[in-house]
Structure 1
């Protein structure tokens, strides 16, 4: 298996960055994870280093069905409610482990190449190609480019979502100097969650 990568962790902010060079994603309320496939071996690991390969079989089975056999994906494990919104309580309950899916937002390695030095927009383009026509289990997390960020945040709050994460399209994947910015919906339950 490839060496694990250190996670890039967004910094909390009060305002969404504005400008054409930013990409904005919905912040899913789930568990952050890395999914690594090396040939016929797949590992799903939490941000804290827990091996979740056994816990979320749907994601692992989907990864094993993919044509590409060597990749490392950064994403969020979620369980969706009937509205299609991530439901942390359902995920945390352990009653829906077999239904959990991965919303992929970054591709860090592919076919033996370390992509962390590539700009974000290039990594996202490759992620889109890797997961094209992937019917279920692992999805590309949608994102919106440019000045729409503040309006997207208002819409996310109106829909009772956790918030958004904004990332500069030219940045490399640098965990210790990560410039990802998260702006949270202050009325969302995640603001007061203790675990």
Structure 2
């Protein structure tokens, strides 16, 4: 979509240039799956300890796995090499909480799921929360283009 949606009912976030990932914690431990349902837990091993530390018995979190460049922007090319050579450079950017402690949250409003998710992520770690950006869709889209970001998600 070339132009973001308008209206007060929308929030807008940065689109990161990485791999869509589901982080899962349950009785079997921590696992990470790609959007195509491939188990990449072994490749994302450095992130497992932080995911296990999130205060929940179980969860399913929608994330993007990224690596950042010197400017702090996600860098897909660097991500591909980091997965095999420097997995300690990986970050998970979390944006949605689908299940928590055995409860399916998908019928809950996205805003409420995101509030719960945000409260559960410790600041400064390799798992970060993708916060909504202030402003209208047009303004956020303009700033994302000016900053050479991948785009926005509304």
TM-score normalised per structure 1: 0.74
2:114 to 103, 109, 124: 124
Are 1:58 and 1:101, in contact at CA under 8 Å, matched by a contact in 2? no
The question of 1:136 aligning with 2:106 is answered no
Provide the alpha-carbon RMSD of the alignment.
1.4
Q: Aligned residue for 1:172?
A: none
Q: CA deviation at 1:74?
A: 0.2
3-state DSSP of counterpart to 1:143: coil
| Match in the other structure for 2:140 | 152
Give the whole-Å Cα distance in 2 for the aligned partners of 1:15 and 1:134: 32
1:14 aligned to 2:23? no
Match of 1:38 among 26, 40, 60: 26
Alignment of 1:174-185 (within 5 A): none
8 Å CA contact 1:90–1:96 kept in 2: the answer is: no
Please give the secondary structure, in 1, of the residue aligned with 2:48. helix
Q: Is the 8 A contact 1:62 1:138 kept in 2?
A: yes
Q: Distance in 1 between matches of 2:123 and 2:140?
A: 26
Equivalent residue for 2:79?
Answer: 91
Answering whether residue 60 of structure 2 is matched by residue 75 of structure 1, we say no
Say whether residues 1:103 and 2:111 are aligned partners: no
Query: Following the alignment from structure 2 to structure 1, what is the Cα–Cα distance between the partners of residues 148 and 85?
Result: 23
Aligned pair count?
152
Structure 2 residue ranges without an equivalent (≥5) = none
Q: In the TM superposition, what whole-angstrom CA distance separates every residue of 1:76-95 from its partner, at most 9, and x where no partner exists?
A: 00001121100100001233
Q: Which residue of 2 aligns with 1:52?
A: 40
Check whether the contact 2:14–2:133 (CA below 8 A) recurs between aligned residues.
no
> Structure 2 CA distance, aligned partners of 1:58 and 1:136?
11
* Alignment match, 1:184: none
Separation in 2, partners of 1:134, 1:91: 22
Q: Which sections of structure 1, spanning at least 5 residues, go unmatched? A: 1-12, 167-195
Secondary structure of the residue aligned to 2:32 is strand
TM-score in terms of structure 2 length: 0.92
Question: Which consecutive segments of 4 or more residues in structure 1 shift more than 2 A?
Answer: 94-98
* Post-superposition offset of 1:65: 2.0
The answer to whether the aligner puts 1:65 opposite 2:53 as a matched pair is yes
